[in-house]
Amino acid sequence: MDSYQNLPLIVSKIGIVGAGCSGIAAAKQLSRHNPIVFEASGFIGGVWKHCSYNSTRLQSHRRDYEFSDFPWPGRDCSEFPTHLEILNYLKSYAEHFDVLKHIRFNSRVVEIRFVGGGSFDRDCSDITAGVNGGGDYGSLLPGQPVWEVAVQTKESDTIQWYGFEFLVMCNGKYGDIAKMPSFPRNKGAEVFEGKLLHTLDYCKLDHEAATQLLKGKKVVVVGFKKSAIDLALECAEANQGPEGQPCTMVVRTLHWTVPHYRIWGLPFFLFYSTRASQFLHERPNQGFFKTLLCLLLSPMRHGISKFIESYLAWKLPLDKYGLKPEHSFEEDYASCQMAIVPEKFFSEADKGNIVFKKSHGKWWFWNGGIEFEDNTKLEADVVIFATGFDGKKKIKTILPEPFRSLLEYPSGIMPLYRGTIHPLIPNMAFVGYVESVANLHSSELRSMWLSQLVDDKFKLPSIEKMLSHTLEEIEVMKRSTRFYKRHCISTYSIKHSDELCEDMGWSSWRKKSWISEVLSPYRGADYKKED
């Protein structure tokens, strides 16, 4: 990009990368600064637009996926909207609050360059200098560009550079870059004579093309999370009748699935989504007595997990198909990996239209399909990887050093203060990278917090204190689940929201009565902006 460095620079206060649900939430909250939002596609909605199947639905209840000041229309409709209904909702929100005027569609960010500002010098040589001394993060709007952003439009190969005082990354953890397994030499995709694709490719197919790909084919789906489960069901539905072929799921790591949000007749939110339930779980920086209390209450916490597991083992044929995880349900919930299994999934398995192949070791390709470490072979015409996405790689490809190396410093996941600010990356925020039970609500509340921070309504603590806080959060995640790198705060999400509210000078207890405060779930509507 050096050849473009002398091109005219368009300067603005705030830039936002991505127009998914986090991007439009950030744009709405920061609208008084006239932010420029760069969206690589021609649409808002992020993964709901380009990473959804024909059958994709919301995993959480409709009322848990709702902006605080923009209720869903038609509350008597399905509790689990389709991806098309969600896209319409997001579009309506963006139109209602005039967010679209800030968005530059078909504009891909291809490089970001640090040009100095605050307590960080232009050469980035003093990035960690303030840590040991408890340095200050610096001004978020210093009055001059801190970041320069190179943007390429879909219609042109030319690069336009923009200068921003503050940059908000909202290009998300999912979509764009597929996460693919590696294989031994001469045993990878190049030897396979069938069709190989990732769910990212499958999502681009319309219903007719998807059916044509799957019908009458020996399909192998690699994975056992929500996208893999939905895909296997679509495959089974496309292969009804005597000429249909079963879909084989290659399962390496098992995860708990739930059929609905009631456990032995009790609403699911009672177990994890109220103040009373989250009181049982460890939270960051909670002090000695709270830590001791959590230890004393651990039998109750484990009992709740076993209670839920007993229902799932009774309701679903997990033992029959060898799909019962060895780890606790709580570990999956603490890492935001609990998935709703479609109603017809196991009935299709009972009919033989979905079969399961557990793989505890390595596997690779041969010309006719997949070969496993135990020398067994699985024939396949089509292999689809439902192996997730590499969201951090998206940022790493455009962010300069040394910031690129700091993204996962020092624990393998991004240390984000209040789920938003990386203490060692100046004048940049990350919205939508820390998962929760309700990601839309989390992104909106963090955007509200960020808006007040930008306007100097409150100050960040020192770099040292922010790092200490984030590292303690990571240690709590490590103690909660082996899947901690998912970076999920589901077991202490209310405490996290409390901290955001307290920073903004809001009351952290948002309910109208003590009973509701203790026993009701928190939702987006509870955090409507205070005047």
Position 209 pLDDT exceeds 60: yes
pTM of the prediction? 0.92
The mean-pLDDT minimum among 180-194, 218-232, 400-414, 446-460 falls in 400-414
Q: Compute the average pLDDT of residues 70-95.
A: 86
pLDDT value of position 244: 87
Closest CA to 354 of 257, 199, 243, 218: 218
User: Residue 15: beta bridge partners?
Assistant: 36, 167
Angle among Cα 521, 525, 529 to the nearest 5 degrees reads: 130
3-state helix, strand, coil in the chain (%, to 5): 35, 20, 45
Closest CA to 334 of 278, 258, 410, 265: 278
Band the pLDDT of 86: cuts 50, 70, 90.
Answer: very high
Give SS3 for 434: coil
pLDDT value of position 131: 36
